[in-house]
Structure 1
């Protein structure tokens, strides 16, 4: 990975489109979110951007409403191409209202911590105001119970599930 790497918008659109096809079958009265680990996290973060923009990178509409995004040990792909896409009020409003949890280990030797950190900074600059970035000092490219506890706590608080079994 590098900041100068080529940007596979077509591939990211295909991945986010597959996730969208799964989500579009859900009942409209339930809360819908995306989450993933590593490349799945990259797809989840990219999906958050598509939701906020209302379209995929290729311009095709993104018709599903997202209620939350969770990304573990991932990064924001195609960040350079998205730079000017978040100036519209409607896009900013959707970005501001979408809760996102990013978790990343400082010991990750596959997706370096700095890519997770830079992704959080870029998303914040795009107007994602409800973003939580949680780092874990000794975590590598895997999950640990403490990270899963953080995800459960965050989801419980964001989805209003406190006190439910």
Structure 2
């Protein structure tokens, strides 16, 4: 199934693409207002894609249908999930990556951003993708497929640049899950950049400013 999405095109021809995945119960419009807060220079025209997650029943919410990248079976610290729906979403995001490749954006200038559940999909998709991507920004999230990743990490993305941010007062995805993801990624040989903010399950302006600086640095590095 093809995902519905919103797209923000830059004034000039795009030199890179960001696929930004929202959290549980939200939609693609959730992070559209965040783009100006990245404060990207005009010399870096970036296309932003904001896909909508499919509507599906979510077990921990009483089976109520809502936009969700995958079903969450238990809301404990282990976050037991339905891995088949996670894989399905990763395939759909992979199709968006392929779309951007066909539009002339090199894989190393395609980035996955994700908040909460969307961040888990960003991790899962990028680490398994068969071509080296530009990087991942993981916001207030966790590594949902940690048990599988030692076998499924693709060598092309064994050095994937990653910026991981989390709120110290997050009561939805506890910061311990974000820290656990960092430890698991480090065990895989990756070197994610970690930043904590004094916020709950949300994003803040300084955090988005940092995301913009990180993205600009990656794009400038890739242009050399």
Deviates more, 1:64-73 or 1:31-40: 64-73
Residues 127-154 of structure 1: CA deviation (Å, up to 9, x unaligned): 113x111111x21101110110110111
Who is 2:195 aligned against?
A: 134
User: Is residue 20 of structure 1 aligned with residue 94 of structure 2?
Assistant: yes
- Distance of 2:121 and 2:183 partners within structure 1: 17
Q: Which residue of 1 aligns with 2:211?
A: 151
Whole-Å separation in 2 of the counterparts to 1:160 and 1:38: 27
TM-score calculated relative to the size of structure 2 = 0.58
Which secondary structure state, in structure 1, belongs to the residue aligned with residue 144 of structure 2? Answer: coil
8 Å CA contact 2:127–2:157 kept in 1: the answer is no
Q: Does 1:33 align with 2:107?
A: no
CA contact (8 A) 1:8 1:78 kept: no
Secondary structure at 2:99's aligned position in 1?
A: coil
User: TM-score normalised to the size of structure 1?
Assistant: 0.77
CA contact (8 A) 1:32 1:65 kept: no
Partner of 1:95: 158
Unmatched 5+ residue regions in structure 2?
A: 1-74
Q: Distance in 1 between matches of 2:90 and 2:216?
A: 25
Counterpart Cα distance in 2 of 1:29 and 1:85: 25
Residues 84 and 19 (structure 1 numbering): CA distance in 2 closer, same or farther, change over 3 Å?
closer
- Alignment RMSD: 2.0
My pick for the range that moved more, 69-78 or 8-17, is 8-17
Computing the radius of gyration from Cα coordinates, the structure with the larger value is 2
- Structure having the higher strand fraction is 2
Q: Counterparts of 1:5 and 1:111 in 2: how far apart (Å)?
A: 9
How far residue 15 of structure 1 moved from its aligned partner, in angstroms, is 1.1
Which residue in 2 is equivalent to 1:68? Answer: 135
1:113 maps to: 175
Post-superposition offset of 1:83:
3.5
